[in-house]
Structure 1
Amino acid sequence: MILFFFAVLRNPWREISWGDITGERSYVKDFQPQNDDVRHIRVLLYGPVGAGKSSFINSVSNVLRGRMTNSALVSYETHKIQKENRGNYYPFVFNDIMGLEDGAGRGVSTHDIKLALMGHVKEGYKFNPVSPLSAGDPFYNSSPSPDDRVHVLVCVHSANSAEMKSSVLQKMREIRESASDLGIPQLAVVTKIDEACGETDNSLKNVYKSKHLKKKMTDFSSSLGIPMNCILPIKNYSKETCMNVDVDTLILSALRLIIDFGDDYADKL
């Protein structure tokens, strides 16, 4: 239940074409990587426990397939999104990893995420916080191809969460620094915007008018070092049983930036 209602700005601080999803969906459906040696753009999602990483992947699948879908994600597995024709998939994939947790020995280790960025983690690897992956392990990929590497790193964070623990924030900074050293572009997706603000719960179209959400995003930008224009607020599909054009608008807007950023990086490999 939303207990507080926050004032809205007179004019939105970021423009978005609400409801005009045909062009965005067509862009995504026609997308092909520029680099012929890269079959798909690999998107790695990371963030605190409960931020909505798996829900984001399912929501993207919902939007592109035009109906509700559900996919259980386990281990380090590549999640493909099927096109209308069976056996045909979009040329971008997602990898979802277990959430970052407070304290040493809990959640996925930053060491393993750094290896994943470089493509050293094989499909099916189960992250072990107390025993990171090392060379010689059956799930260690010693010779990653351009396809195995991560092309864009996306932090997923809940707008409705309490203040982030310092240890979790430090882990996220370490991951960001590793990606920066590799030249990998980075974005952030802020979820649960409907739960964080009464005005946005009333209408998602208030997202860029909400003073509360703007402050949340500004604080998040300052704490993690991700520029505001790389932070994208969305609402995942959760309790809905049918599609919603405003939900689709925000997800497609975020998805387009994600694949464009990843494609620019992959084209340089």
Structure 2
Amino acid sequence: MNVHENISFQGAQVLKMEETTRRLNEKEKILERLKKNLRALKESKNVLLVGSLGVGKSSLINSTITALTGKYDFYADIGGGDKHVTTTFHRISRDEYWDPEDEGDKLLCLPTFIDIIGLDAQLSSSDEKEDTVNSMLMNLIINGRLPENCDLLDVSKQLKAGKTIKDRSEEKKLTVDIIMVVISAKSPSIPQTLIDEIYREANIKKRKIPVFAVLTKVDKCDMSEQELEDKKTEICEAIGITQDKLLLCRNYQPGDAPDIETDIKILEFLTTLCNPRFKAVTLEKVEFEEPEPPPPPPTPAPSPPQSSSFWKTALQWAFVVAVIAFFLYLIQQILSKDNRYNQNTMNQRKM
């Protein structure tokens, strides 16, 4: 390497180090904003990850915790292929992954992640009047009616067989505060029927719950930047959210080195998700009364009896007959008088 090449190489190294330092400083600033939001929370939020089988829900949990702590671990069990790895109601609380050196940060209200079984879109329906296996399962989980480590495969089978769960009171610490819809960039289309059911569960049933979305595996798909942006727009419109509530990211895998860009994207997204303004509320239903029945229609006036009409007509005809008879009588009298006159005249002539 000659002198000029050595100077160019050293210059490139310096620029790279400066860029790395700048991005590390940016990551620290985002972490501070995240901590500010977390300090404003009264308690940790329960974040439910929902999506189809194999979209990367468990990997996303591990990646998010890696971005927070700088250490990768199997907080959520991951797998591959078309077999369910997550089959239970798995709750990963702050105490399982957060152990900072700063004592002041230990009580930050970091989210509790709820990892569940991948949902089969074929068990969903766009008909809001139809209770499907997925909608019933989500409703039980969202409202805290299933215990931790519940066998969700068995619950799904029982619901599919038409059985109903025995009365079980809601457990406050298990109710969901945020729903995170996870979709794989490798999927050719978004699971619209499943998304429709998530929307109904999050907006028009018992509670109204903020919804976010993540498009995973962007590093493993063949889409261009423009195609990814189009996919992002399509997902936001399907779920009914703004684009700041959707994250495009790649998931960390075991053995991956820390990546500043990945960390920054995840932490920015987490900062938005932990904003105290986003909170679930119980929908208060207003009671309504049935409208009073309309007053009965007015009773029509009784028509005169037909007998009265008959006599009226009869009297009219009797009058007509009397008039005719009277005129006939006059004519008869005139003719009779005329005949008598003619008879007298003839008698006088004979005499």
In which range does the TM-score fall when normalised by the shorter chain? Answer: 0.7 to 0.9
Hey, what does 2:290 align to over in structure 1?
none
Q: Check conservation: 1:235, 1:250, Cα contact below 8 A.
A: no
Q: Check conservation: 2:89, 2:115, Cα contact below 8 A.
A: yes
Hey, what does 2:171 align to over in structure 1?
144
Hey, what does 1:25 align to over in structure 2?
31
Q: Check conservation: 2:46, 2:112, Cα contact below 8 A.
A: yes
Hey, what does 1:13 align to over in structure 2?
none
Hey, what does 1:265 align to over in structure 2?
279
Q: Check conservation: 1:217, 1:231, Cα contact below 8 A.
A: yes
95, 107, 123: which is aligned to 2:148? 123
Hey, what does 2:202 align to over in structure 1?
179
Q: Would you say 1:252 and 2:252 are equivalent positions?
A: no
Cα displacement (A) at 1:256: 1.2
Quick check: which one's helix share is greater?
2
Larger Rg: 2
Structure 2 residue runs of 5 or longer lacking an equivalent are 1-21, 78-85, 125-131, 284-351
State the TM-score, normalizing by the size of structure 1. Answer: 0.74
Hey, what does 1:79 align to over in structure 2?
92
Distance 1:267 1:33 in 2: 21
Identify if the C-alpha distance between structure 1 residues 255 and 175 changes in structure 2 by more than 3 Å, giving closer, same or farther.
Answer: same
In the TM superposition, 1:107-256 aligns within 5 A as 109-127=134-152, 128-132=155-159, 134-136=164-166, 140=168, 142-145=169-172, 147-164=173-190, 168-181=191-204, 182-197=207-222, 210-238=225-253, 240-256=255-271
Hey, what does 1:206 align to over in structure 2?
none
Identify if the C-alpha distance between structure 1 residues 33 and 150 changes in structure 2 by more than 3 Å, giving closer, same or farther.
Answer: farther
Bigger Cα displacement from structure 2, 55-64 vs 121-130: 121-130
Hey, what does 1:94 align to over in structure 2?
113
Distance 1:47 1:157 in 2: 6
Hey, what does 2:55 align to over in structure 1?
51
Amino acid at match of 2:138: I
Cα displacement (A) at 1:239: 5.9
Distance 1:96 1:84 in 2: 21
Distance 1:90 1:99 in 2: 30
Amino acid at match of 2:196: R
Between the two structures, name the one with larger relative contact order (CA 8 Å, sep ≥ 6): 1
Cα displacement (A) at 1:248: 0.4
Q: Please tell me the root mean square deviation across aligned C-alpha atoms, in Å.
A: 3.1
Distance 1:35 1:85 in 2: 19
Distance 2:57 2:98 in 1: 21
Cα displacement (A) at 1:257: 1.5
Structure 1 residue runs of 5 or longer lacking an equivalent are 1-16, 200-209
Distance 1:172 1:268 in 2: 21
Amino acid at match of 1:196: C
Aligned to 2:113, the other structure's residue is in SS state strand
Distance 2:60 2:214 in 1: 9
Bigger Cα displacement from structure 2, 69-78 vs 219-228: 219-228
Q: Which runs of 4+ in 1 moved over 6 A?
A: none
Q: Check conservation: 1:44, 1:153, Cα contact below 8 A.
A: yes
Q: Check conservation: 1:80, 1:90, Cα contact below 8 A.
A: no
Q: Check conservation: 2:49, 2:180, Cα contact below 8 A.
A: yes
Distance 2:238 2:92 in 1: 30
Cα displacement (A) at 1:219: 2.0
Distance 2:23 2:230 in 1: 22
The alignment covers a number of residue pairs equal to 232
Aligned to 1:189, the other structure's residue is in SS state strand
Identify if the C-alpha distance between structure 1 residues 71 and 83 changes in structure 2 by more than 3 Å, giving closer, same or farther.
Answer: closer
| CA deviation string 1:73-96 (max 9, x = no partner) | 44102112422359x575210101
Identify if the C-alpha distance between structure 1 residues 222 and 163 changes in structure 2 by more than 3 Å, giving closer, same or farther.
Answer: same
